[in-house]
Amino acid sequence: MENPQSMFEEQDYPLWEDEDSSHNFASASLPSYTARNVSRAHAALLDNVVVSLQANVEIFRLVRTHIAFLEQWHEQHTGWRIQRGATFFRLERHLHTVTPVFLDDKLKKARDFVCLTWLLWFAEKRYLAGGGRNQQFLLSQLADELQKQSETVEGTALDFRNQQDRYSMWRALDYLTNLGGLRILEGEVKKWLEDSEQAENEALYEFTPITHSLVEALHEERVAAITELLRENRQLTTAGRVPALAQAIPPLFRAWRTLLLGPALFRYDDPDAFHALKTNSEQVSNELADALGWLLELNSDYACIVRGGSLSIGAGPGLTVNGAYDQMILLLCSLFRNQVEQHNWTPDAYGCLHVTHWDINPLFSDLRQRFGNYWGATIQNIEAKELLTEMYQRMRQLGLLRGPDEEGNMLIMPTAARYNVSYTQEPPEVRKSTRTRSRKTTPAPQLSLESIDQYETGNGQHAQKEQQ
């Protein structure tokens, strides 16, 4: 098989847009030395759950130096509070709607978040009991108490005789340790992973004030409202339905919050917030550039933050061209565009495509048949259903689609319009040298950006615009 090669670039505008679409990249002037430090402090608060003295002395001191400005900025734009501690700062990023979950490198499964929640409950219980040695606990003590307590609430109780639950608790402990909220004083938790019954498989932990700061940010009424939203939400949301929790928040505040949380602000979700952003786009663009050195991308149906030269579509996870899953996602987005070009799929008034899992399944099957050899042996051995499930999860986190729901309905978001890619063949002289390699080695694939025509939609009609 010949090796595809060339380059990949980011697409600058959506594949399907309304006639009045506008694509605005703000230009940021070069900031002064002080402004650069403020931007670094700003970004550190947004990119990290906690900015701690232990993890990064320089960044901690930057935040401490500019804390008054940072607090004032968030008071005026987001309404978020910055928690202060002797050795840490933390930006409280409150949600006002249900957004895709960005998985941490350690927290990979829903059960991991269950264990982290119970771990925070255990920490707060000990905090309320007093300081000192009450913040220290044995791993076996934690496991016993959480297992018993989880049996008293709705849902599947924790059972640490099950190794999968032990792995989830280990990931939750590791996550909190990396944040600086836990210290391990003695023992080794990995031994407990192998066998929870042996008495010598013990570890002694200690909570720090950072753990309490995570609990302190929780507001009972807000948590209850989000819980109700999660119960109602079945992967797909209703257009323009702003939760009651958000209605008391000014629309421009909602726009700032959504942009900074990422991956994008959709007109589909919050028309009022999107209108407020569009009305104040120049001001927001300038303030974003001045405060963080980032750019605002504003389209007719969505807006997002662009940082640096990566393939990120805002805050949260980004796309690369090296990973097999990312290549599959980019290629699948290209197939979505083809469906629009061929008039098989028609965007709605918000630039979204309403499809089903059964519409995507044959597209992906064809994609896998054509390019599966480029994605590595591991991917080739995964069943198609499992592979698509993993891709859907990643695409939800990237803000490219929502669903499928229980009936298989899906919503492809207009952000999928940003990418149109393909594999290209190597030049003849490169292919000649490739034949001398071992037949067992499949050259790493690369992607290229094809010429893209922009399409506008109106009343179900598609009209090709001149190439920009």
The per-residue DSSP string of 289-338 comes to: HHHHS-EEEE-SSEEEEE-TTSS--SSS----SSSHHHHHHHHHHHHHHH
* DSSP-assigned beta bridge partners for residue 425: 4
Residue ending a domain, among 160, 186, 214, is 214
Domain count, the chain: 2
Residue 391 forms part of a structural domain = yes
Residue 31 forms part of a structural domain = no
Whole-structure pTM over 0.85, yes or no?
no
182-187 sheet: strands from edge to edge: 136-138, 203-207, 182-187
* pLDDT above 70 (res 409): yes
pLDDT given at position 247? 83
Residue 365 forms part of a structural domain = yes
Amino acid at 303: A
Domain identity same for 203 and 332: no
Q: What is the mean pLDDT of residues 442-460?
A: 39
Residue 61's H or E segment, with its range, is helix 57-65
Percent of the chain with pLDDT over 90: 47
196 vs 342, higher pLDDT: 342
Under the banding of pLDDT at 50, 70 and 90, the label for residue 78 is very high
Q: What is the mean pLDDT of residues 445-458?
A: 40
pLDDT given at position 338? 92
Domain identity same for 209 and 323: no
Nearest to 99 by CA among 396, 418, 406, 411: 396
Least confident of 58-67, 369-378, 390-399, 453-462: 453-462
* pLDDT above 90 (res 310): no
Alpha-carbon span 183 to 181, nearest angstrom: 7
pLDDT given at position 430? 37
Per residue in 161-179, pLDDT tens? Answer: 899 999 999 999 999 999 9
Q: Residue 48: how many CB atoms within 10 A of its CB?
A: 18
pLDDT given at position 274? 97
Least confident of 52-61, 320-329, 409-418: 320-329
* pLDDT above 70 (res 467): no
* pLDDT above 70 (res 10): no
Q: What is the mean pLDDT of residues 188-203?
A: 77
Q: Which of 3-17, 325-339, 411-425 has the highest mean pLDDT?
A: 325-339
Q: Residue 227: how many CB atoms within 10 A of its CB?
A: 10
* pLDDT above 60 (res 419): yes
DSSP state of 450: P
Q: What is the mean pLDDT of residues 106-113?
A: 85
Domain identity same for 323 and 437: yes
Residue ending a domain, among 179, 214, 249, is 214
pLDDT given at position 101? 56
* DSSP-assigned beta bridge partners for residue 447: 423
* pLDDT above 90 (res 89): yes
pLDDT given at position 436? 40
Yes or no: say if 215 and 248 are a contact pair by the CB < 8 Å rule: no
Residue 400 forms part of a structural domain = yes
pLDDT given at position 393? 87
Residue 325 forms part of a structural domain = yes
pLDDT given at position 315? 52
| Domain CATH number, residue 189 | 1.10.10
Percent of the chain with pLDDT over 70: 76
Torsion angle of alpha carbons 309, 312, 318, 321, nearest 10°?
-60
Q: Which of 201-205, 331-335, 455-459 has the highest mean pLDDT?
A: 331-335
63 vs 130, higher pLDDT: 63
Residue 270 forms part of a structural domain = no
Task: Summarize the chain as % helix, strand, coil (round to 5).
Answer: 45, 15, 40
* Domain of residue 435, residue span: 319-464
* pLDDT above 90 (res 267): yes
Domain identity same for 324 and 206: no
* pLDDT above 80 (res 350): yes
pLDDT given at position 432? 42
pLDDT given at position 11? 37
Q: What is the CA radius of gyration of the chain?
A: 24
* DSSP-assigned beta bridge partners for residue 17: 456
User: Please, what is the average pLDDT of the chain?
Assistant: 79
Residue 191 forms part of a structural domain = yes
Residue 158 forms part of a structural domain = yes
361 vs 433, higher pLDDT: 361
Q: Residue 269: how many CB atoms within 10 A of its CB?
A: 25
Domain identity same for 209 and 328: no
Residue ending a domain, among 163, 195, 214, is 214
Least confident of 61-75, 142-156, 280-294, 453-467: 453-467
pLDDT given at position 401? 92
Residue that the structure tokens 């063949």 belong to: 425
Q: 179 Cβ partners below 8 Å, 6+ apart?
A: 49, 50, 52, 210
Query: Phi-psi region for residue 17, left (φ > 0), alpha (ψ -120 to 50) or beta?
Result: beta
pLDDT given at position 446? 56
